[in-house]
Each structure stands twice: as structure tokens, then as C-alpha cells.
Amino acid sequence: MGCYKTLFIFIVLSLCFGCLTDDGGKDGYNGEGDRVVYLSESFDDLSGWNLHLGGEYVIDKDQGWNGSGVHIHGDGLYNFPNLDRIVDISGWSGGIWLELDFRAKSFGETHEYTNAYVLVFDDSKSSLRYVGLLAGGGIKDTGWKHRKIDLTEYLDGVSSMKVRLQLQDHWEADHSQEAWFDEVELYSSVSEQKEPGEVTPGAMFLDEDFSDLSCWDIHMGGLYQAELGEGVDDSGLHIFGDGPNNFPNVDRIVDISGADSVWLELDFRAKSSSGTHEYTNAYVQIFDPDKKSLLHIELLAGGGFLDTGWRHRRIDLSNALSGLDSIKIRLLLEDNWEADHSQEAWFDNVKIFSAQ
């Protein structure tokens, strides 16, 4: 499999600071079956949400999927307008899901610049647990879409979460984006919980054990370096150093033509000089190299820890990557912090494959 030099354009995943006070989510009540509903928001009004604006952005009510919804619109340069609220989910058991309807619109359809996100934090630790990319470029108007997100793995041990609905505008002031959200539901259920199925790899598209780095394009910043370091067995990729606002990463193109399902798995470890901040650390990003659009973000470790130790993650990308012949995979460390707060990350055994 070849390696290709590709134009590198940065996506900076924003983490806007902190939220102010909140009156908390709606009290839990029983919905369908054994569902416990923690948040059921139809946006008849915006009460209970903290609005965080930037540039010339406005957040107000507009036509939603069902009745009214919330609308983020305006323009700005490098702005991340969002609304968030804290939801008490103490005592949840079984599985926990977030459902919402959204629509995202962009001035242009040819850029990887991102648009609509939903972010989930552990509020008690100010740590980011989940990054849901809803629309990541390559579109002019998604129309209304529905998304159901299984947060069970990401909210393990969390009793107070913050949900943030966000538009990211990395673009010049005269290129605008807008997003709508509606019918946001957060609920847990024991009976709806699904056991993760076993997956047997079939065709392998990438099987990287990091015995060398020759097939990767390396993009560093600040004092960051990439080297062959400690792996799960033998060597792995180690990204280390320091800098303010640096996003060192490696990427490569992977041919997935003919895939009828696409799975990604990898081992990773992330370390931070502080265990108390929501600042992020290790990510995997997947792009459509032709459209330069971002298709999936997997947050591996998002703050609130000193050292994760080695962990394993397996992700079903079949829906996000359906119909593509090639993708770009990027292994990324984000250092949004000052120069004297450092982070490092390790990656090993990165595999992309079809299920048998």
C-alpha cells in the first residue's frame, strides 16, 4: 500500500471554555419501557441553556424539525458559538443514549472546515468525554437529519454531564455557516442495552505495528516530535514535546475500495501534566481525501487524567465511510494549553479492516 504526500490543512477542534451556572437538567422520569429520561428538549424556548457567542453570531429560536428549534447563525473568523447545559444523570444504569435532530448549512461545499458538533463532558471533572461530528464539510445543506448516539462507554462513571451543541466556524469572516438543533433527548435504559458483537476481521486495509514511520506524513508544531517509542509490543508511535496551541499529528491515505464494512481498531496511551482540565489529548480523525471533508472524530482521551495507560478502542465506521474508495487517517495530539503544560500520546496496532 503506498504512501502519499497530501496537502495538510489543519482542523482545530475547539474547546471553548467553561460554562457558567445552570439550573440543571429536567428531573428524571419514566418514558417508554424502562427508559429513564434525563433531558427532553423541544426548544419551545431556550431556558436552561447557557449561550456562548462569538464574532457576529446569534443563537435564537427558528423553525425546527418539530415546531421550533434552536438556530446558530451569523458569521465570524475562528468562532465556536454554542449552547450547553448540565444534566444530572446520577444513578443511570444499562445503556445511555443521546438522540437529536440537526441541520447544518455552509457557504461552500468544498472544504473540510467543520460545522455542527455535539460534545459531551463529565461536568464534575471538566473533562471532554465524547465528540460527535454531525456535519464536517463537503456539504451546502444537510437538510434535517436524525442521530442516535450510544454514550454508554463514554459516560462510564459519570453522574453529572454537560451537553454542548456547537457550530465551528474556522473560516474567514465572509464565509458563513449555520446550524439548527431540535428534539434533544438523553435517556438510559437497561432493556435497550446491546452487548457489543464480536467482529472477525476479513480484508485488512491497514495493519500498522509501527516498526517504522516511513508510510506516515508527519506534521509537528512547537517543540513536538514524533518518534518510534514504547508500544504495546515492540515499538509504537510516540508524540511528545510541548507548545501552546499545537496539534502535532501523523496521517496517511488508506485504500478501502471494495469494503462492505469498515472497522478501525487501535491501542493508545495518553499522558498529561495535569489531571484536572478538559483540555484534550489524543484523537483519531478520518477524512474523505477527495472532498477534504472530515467524516469521523474519535476522542480517545479528553482530559481529567494524568496517564490513561494502554487502552484499546474498536470503532464501527461503516456508516460514516460507506461508498468511499480511500480515506485519510490522522493520529492527533491536541495541546490547547500553555507552553509549560505538556501532553504526550502513544499509538500502536492501528488496523482498518472489513468484517468477515
For 143, what's the count of Cα atoms within 13 Å in the CB-facing half-sphere? Answer: 0
Q: Which residues contact 141 (CB under 8 A, 6 or more apart)?
A: 103, 104, 105, 106
Least CB distance to Ca ion at residue 328 (A) = 21
Which of 308, 198, 310 has its CA nearest to residue 263?
A: 198
Please say which residue, 77 or 149, places its beta carbon nearer to Ca ion: 77
Least CB distance to Ca ion at residue 157 (A) = 27
Which of 334, 336, 333 has its CA nearest to residue 345?
A: 333
Least CB distance to Ca ion at residue 110 (A) = 15
Q: Could you give the angle at the alpha carbon of 298 between the alpha carbons of 16 and 77, nearest 5°?
A: 35
Least CB distance to Ca ion at residue 323 (A) = 29
**Site for Ca ion, rule CB under 5 A:** 42-43, 64, 66-67, 75, 169, 171, 175, 182, 209-210, 231, 234, 236, 242, 335, 337, 341, 348
Least CB distance to Ca ion at residue 185 (A) = 11
Please say which residue, 31 or 67, places its beta carbon nearer to Ca ion: 67
Least CB distance to Ca ion at residue 349 (A) = 6
Whole-angstrom Cα distance, residue 121 to residue 162? 5
Whole-angstrom Cα distance, residue 352 to residue 355? 10
Least CB distance to Ca ion at residue 244 (A) = 6
Grid cell digits, residue 146: 436524525
Can you say whether the dihedral through the CA atoms of 206, 211, 212, 213 is positive or negative? positive
Which of 143, 154, 152 has its CA nearest to residue 119?
A: 154
| CB-count exposure of residue 281 (10 Å: 0-12, 13-18, 19+) | buried
Q: Which residues contact 265 (CB under 8 A, 6 or more apart)?
A: 312, 313, 314, 315, 349, 350, 351
Please say which residue, 107 or 150, places its beta carbon nearer to Ca ion: 107
- Is residue 116 within 8 A of residue 102, CB to CB? The reply is yes
Please say which residue, 123 or 178, places its beta carbon nearer to Ca ion: 178
Please say which residue, 75 or 288, places its beta carbon nearer to Ca ion: 75
Least CB distance to Ca ion at residue 331 (A) = 13
**Owner of C-alpha cell 442516535:** 148
Please say which residue, 84 or 178, places its beta carbon nearer to Ca ion: 178
Least CB distance to Ca ion at residue 325 (A) = 28
* Alpha helix (H) residue ranges in 253-292: none
Please say which residue, 205 or 337, places its beta carbon nearer to Ca ion: 337
For 42, what's the count of Cα atoms within 13 Å in the CB-facing half-sphere? Answer: 4
Please say which residue, 41 or 123, places its beta carbon nearer to Ca ion: 41
Q: Using CB positions, name the residue nearest to Ca ion.
A: 231
Least CB distance to Ca ion at residue 15 (A) = 13
**Owner of C-alpha cell 518510534:** 228
Please say which residue, 57 or 154, places its beta carbon nearer to Ca ion: 57
Please say which residue, 341 or 351, places its beta carbon nearer to Ca ion: 341
The CA-atom distances, in angstroms, between 330 and each of 8, 23, 219, 301 are 11, 39, 10, 15
